[in-house]
Amino acid sequence: MAARPVDEVRNLKLFEYRAKQLMGKYGIPVPRGAVARTPGEILSVDYPVAVKAQVLVGGRGKAGGIKFADNLEDAKSRAGEILAMNIKGERVKSVLLEERLEVARELYLSYVIDRSSRSVLLMASGDGGVEIENVPQERIAMVPVPPFGYSPFISKILKTAFGLNDDQSKQVDALARNLYGMFISEDCELAEINPLVLTAGGQIIAADSKVTINDDALFRHPEFSEDMDDLTPLEQRAKQEDIAFVQLDGNIGVIANGAGLTMATLDILTINGGRAGVFLDLGGTDDPKKVTRALALMKDAGPGVIFLNIFGGITKCDTVAMGVREAVQTIGIDIPIVARIRGVNDDIAREILKEIGIESSTDLIEAARKAVKAAVK
């Protein structure tokens, strides 16, 4: 089993402009707009215009990542400002220049994979906008879409939830139906429009869009390969190896197998006064080379000590040990390794590690304490 990075499910996040391109393809009304990577790329747009930082973190507006401009020169300088920004640790690489909408009302509409109901859940509220998660539950309609597809009754629920007239309701119905079509066809994990704007002119438009694609379904959607570039180089390498890799702010590098064990390892280190700087979940593998590559990755992440915590099952302990030996002998791992090895073929594994000078324990707590001590040095 491969791990999910902590509490997130596996997904590929699309930038707003990509999400809107996708929605446009499915007939969902989005504002006219253009994307630019440098101010020089901005030629002419309809003014007034909104200049929006393209980042994947939330809270962009509050951080100053959205500005407005009335003419070309203005747009270029606003874009220049935003492109120089770093929002919550994420460098802004592009801006979206978009027509400004005359907003009459802000609504909320999303589809998401819902664990509890095991369905695609539609959520809709007349109280759209950035603080939607604080709107009381009873003012958000939550409808698990029947597995047989979008059904006409949903349109009645949206009409009531949004408080729309017949014409607006028709627009919303078409939009919600198309968005569901997109969600299914593109293997989304989330498709969110917030705000969904009712303009002064009575049009319904997706003013901001968030879309994530289910990573495991990417084999059906090769066209998203270009959208992978929000990962750091190390993260990208990890992804290619099918290794869950998360960078943290401590100095112990954790290598474990399985999401649960990986998280439990963090818990044990924390309780014993240590802090992980990176963790790396081998998942299930029978390939020593994968382990070797994981160690190379860990070396480049540069923690103070590596804590190897393996409970052998699918991933046999000797497989891991062979991979470690290969890494030590060919790449050269200059960081101390503390190992805790249990499970299938742990005796063989301990022998192999001993040969290359790594003492291993069977006791989890004992090993964790040793790793914490080594990290403090």
Partner 1 sequence: MAIMVGRETKVIVQGITGHQGQFHTKSMKEFGTKVVGGVTPGKGGSAVEGVPVFETVHEAVEQTGANSSCIFVPARFAKDAVFEAVNAGLGLVVVITEHIPFLDAMEFVNYAKLRETTVIGPNCPGVTSPEFGKIGIMPSKMFAKGDVGVISRSGTLTYEIVNALTEAGIGQTTCVGIGGDPIIGSNFVEVLSRFEKDRKTKRLVMVGEIGGTAEEEAAEYIREHVSKPVFAYIAGRSAPQGKRMGHAGAIISRGRGTAESKIKALEAAGVVVAQLPTDIPGLMLGK
Show contacts with partner 1 in window 58-87 (CB under 8 A).
58
The interface region with partner 1, picked from 36-44, 196-204, 254-262, 298-306 by CB under 8 A, is 254-262
Please give the Cα distance from 172 to 188 (Å, whole number): 20
The sign one gets for the Cα dihedral 354, 2, 55, 137 is negative
Binding-site member from 69, 197, 268, 296 for partner 1 (CB under 8 A): 268
* Annotation says 192 is catalytic: yes
Is the bond leading into 152 cis (omega within 30 degrees of zero)? no
| End-to-end CA gap in the chain | 34
Show contacts with partner 1 in window 23-52 (CB under 8 A).
none
Q: What are phi and psi of 371, to 5 degrees?
A: -65, -40
The interface region with partner 1, picked from 27-35, 110-118, 295-303, 348-356 by CB under 8 A, is 110-118
Please give the Cα distance from 358 to 29 (Å, whole number): 61
The interface region with partner 1, picked from 95-103, 296-304, 330-338, 339-347 by CB under 8 A, is 339-347
In the chain, what are the helix, strand and coil shares in percent, each to the nearest 5? Answer: 40, 25, 35
Q: Of 21 and 272, which has the nearer Cβ to partner 1?
A: 272
Given a contact cutoff of 8 angstroms between Cβ atoms, the answer to whether 67 and 82 are in contact is yes
Return the half-sphere exposure (C-beta side, CA atoms, 13 A cut-off) of residue 300: 14
**317 membership: H or E segment, kind and range:** helix 317-326
148 makes contact with partner 1 (CB under 8 A):
yes
Burial class (CB in 10 A: 0-12, 13-18, 19+), 348: middle
266 makes contact with partner 1 (CB under 8 A):
yes
Tell me which of 16, 98, 106, 108 is the catalytic residue: 108
Burial class (CB in 10 A: 0-12, 13-18, 19+), 19: buried
Choose among 69, 78, 15, 59: nearest CA to 226.
15
Tell me which of 16, 98, 192, 241 is the catalytic residue: 192
Binding-site member from 42, 45, 261, 374 for partner 1 (CB under 8 A): 261
Please give the Cα distance from 173 to 182 (Å, whole number): 14
- Closest approach, Cβ 19 to partner 1, in A, equals 10
Task: Tell me, by CB under 8 A, how many residues bind partner 1.
Answer: 87
- Residue listed under structure tokens 């939330």: 58
Q: Of 103 and 121, which has the nearer Cβ to partner 1?
A: 121
Binding-site member from 103, 263, 331, 356 for partner 1 (CB under 8 A): 263
Given a contact cutoff of 8 angstroms between Cβ atoms, the answer to whether 360 and 340 are in contact is yes
- Residue listed under structure tokens 């790329």: 41
Binding-site member from 33, 258, 277, 303 for partner 1 (CB under 8 A): 258
248 makes contact with partner 1 (CB under 8 A):
yes
Binding-site member from 50, 96, 132, 306 for partner 1 (CB under 8 A): 132
152 makes contact with partner 1 (CB under 8 A):
yes
Q: Of 109 and 352, which has the nearer Cβ to partner 1?
A: 109
Please give the Cα distance from 56 to 286 (Å, whole number): 35
x/- mask, partner 1, residues 165-194, rule CB under 8 A, reads -------------------x--x-xx-x-x
- Closest approach, Cβ 260 to partner 1, in A, equals 2
Binding-site member from 45, 53, 105, 108 for partner 1 (CB under 8 A): 108
x/- mask, partner 1, residues 272-311, rule CB under 8 A, reads -----------xx-x------------------------x
| Residues labelled catalytic | 108, 192
